[in-house]
Amino acid sequence: MEGEHRRRFIFCVLLPAVLAFPLWSFAAGPETSFDPTKYSKGTREIPTPQKGYHDRYTSMTASWNDAGQGYYDPTQYTPPDVPEAAGKKNCVECHEKYTPSAVEEWKASKHGKNGIDCSVCHGTHPQVFMPLPKTCGTCHPGRVEQHFAGKHGRYGFYGAHTQAGRRGAQYEEMKEMGCGTCHSVALKCDSCHTRHRFDPAEARRPEACATCHMGPDHAQTEYYESSKHGVIASVEGKIFEEGGRAPGCVTCHMSRGTHDVSQGITLGGSSQGKFIGNNPSGDAYHPDPNGINMNEISPDDFKRERDKMLAICKNCHSERFARHKLGTADGIKIATDGVTGEAYKIIQGLKDDGLLSPMPSDRIENPAPFPKGKDIWLTGHELYEQVSGIEAKFFHMYKFYNIHAWKGAYHMSPDWSHWYGNAPLKLMLSEIWEDASMIRRLNALEKKEGINWKDVSPVPDFMKPREKPEEVKSKPVDTKELIEKVK
């Protein structure tokens, strides 16, 4: 009997509902049967295999500035082309169906609980937009102002990297994934406060920083995890801001909730760091005593920022102890710059004597705003394409080992500072010197025998200079104008 009742229920109740569904769907019209996948702009075509390094590059489109890529650069976002009726509906009504996770996250957030609905941050169809820091600044003006005062928000941080990313054969998808995803932090608060929860507690965790601050070129996460600070935090499962004994990233770099992540940093900073001179330029590049271009600061700048960091350190340590440890890292930074400078001078000498292969005149021009014309750019904006073999070694030396030696020291990680930094740094200097010696000896023999090396070893296509196709070229980013727009 139980089976009979079940069959009657299906026949009498569920079957009419199923049969009625097509009529209901037809009567509802496009506003309730909207399929967002049919209306999205900028969708990529079916990928087809392509031949070779050179062809792969020249076939690309200008998707770096394509409005369809506005998910990582909100200034380039173009809203989807949806039916007009969608703009008249409640956002949640549709998005519970098409982006249910986003709706659930929003409902659990302070925004959702305090009635800050979707339209406050995104507008409404058909003119929806991706939020910019200035959007968040409507309610959080102080935090946004601090953001733009610090390294994350300064115009050079975003603009310089977007331009450097165009150099050589770098293909567009990698610019989006490998460059834009992290260096768009100037334009997006959700780099740290992930959508749609935007939970400050999440942003305070060291893991929140790890997406960008990790890996061979700036292993701050690894430095921290192997320091006593990181070990204690890992054992306890909480940082100072959560009632733990040890600091997290925000304890030292965003003290008391500031969003200026540059506070207290003296000789450190992004990439090559800083040196003390007489020019309090801060962001501008100048050659240090070794010829390496980096930010120059005055002694007063150094003292002011060091005092800020000491004030943070003294929450747990004596001033004497903190000064000693920071001073040790200062000494490692200065010594490391000297070692790197020796390799820098060796390679500059080869360039001056016309012995690099390829020479700068045979390469595409570096689009970063700092080099003038076709010249090599070692350190900060040196990339890894269309470079000579000895420059490739210098890239490893500077971009990885140099950074580990002194950044590892400032993060109190002995093994990273020494064995991942100092030791391979000095070993690479020996390799670079020997390579330069071999290049000079080989050049002398070729001259004596009348040999043109290009006849013996033709330059492959992927090493030849090539300009971007006309449709890919774009004018340089006006970074100051961009940041004012974002603000």
pLDDT digits (tens, 9 = 90+) for 160-196: 555 554 544 467 677 777 777 888 888 889 999 999 9
Q: Which of 335, 329, 215, 208 is nearest to 265 (CA)?
A: 329
Which residues neighbour 117 within 8 Å (Cβ) at sequence distance 6 or greater? 91, 92
Answer yes or no: do 340 and 424 share one domain. Answer: yes
The pLDDT, as a whole number, for residue 487 is 61
Going by C-alpha positions, the residue among 47, 12, 60, 330 that lies closest to residue 168 is 60
CATH number reported for the structural domain that contains residue 346 in this entry: 1.20.850.10
**Residue 34, domain member (yes or no):** no
| Residue 157 to residues 70, 140, 187, 270, 304, Cα–Cα distance (Å) | 18, 22, 11, 9, 22
Question: Across-strand partners of 297?
Answer: 276
How many Å from the N-terminal Cα to the C-terminal Cα in the chain?
71
Q: How far is it, in rounded angstroms, from Cα 331 to Cα 282? A: 20
Q: Based on the fold, state whether residues 336 and 439 are members of the same structural domain.
A: yes
In this structure, the strands spanning 274-276 and 293-297 are parallel
Number of H helices, E strands in the chain: 24, 3
Interatomic CA distance for residues 180 and 161, integer angstroms: 8
What is the pLDDT at residue 482? 55
Closest among 330, 434, 426, 344 to 380, alpha carbons compared: 344
Q: Judge whether 2 lies within some domain.
A: no
Residues 287 and 211 in one domain: no
Nearest to 158 by CA among 139, 144, 137, 179: 179
Give domain status of residue 487, yes or no. no
- For 259-311, what is each residue's pLDDT tens digit? 999 888 899 876 778 999 887 665 577 889 998 888 888 999 999 999 999 99
The total number of structural domains in the chain stands at 2
Same domain, 382 and 428: yes
Asked whether residue 7 carries a pLDDT value surpassing 60, the answer given is no
Mean pLDDT of the chain: 80
d(CA 271, CA 381): 9
DSSP code for 474: -
Task: Classify residue 269: in a domain, yes or no.
Answer: no
What does the pLDDT look like over 34-46, one tens digit per residue? Answer: 454 444 444 456 7
Helices (H), 46-99: 53-58, 91-98
Assess whether 456 and 371 both reside in one domain.
yes
Residues 385 and 451 reside in one and the same domain:
yes
Look at residue 124 and tell me if it is in a domain: no
| Mean pLDDT on 326-333 | 96
Range of the domain at 459: 280-293+329-479
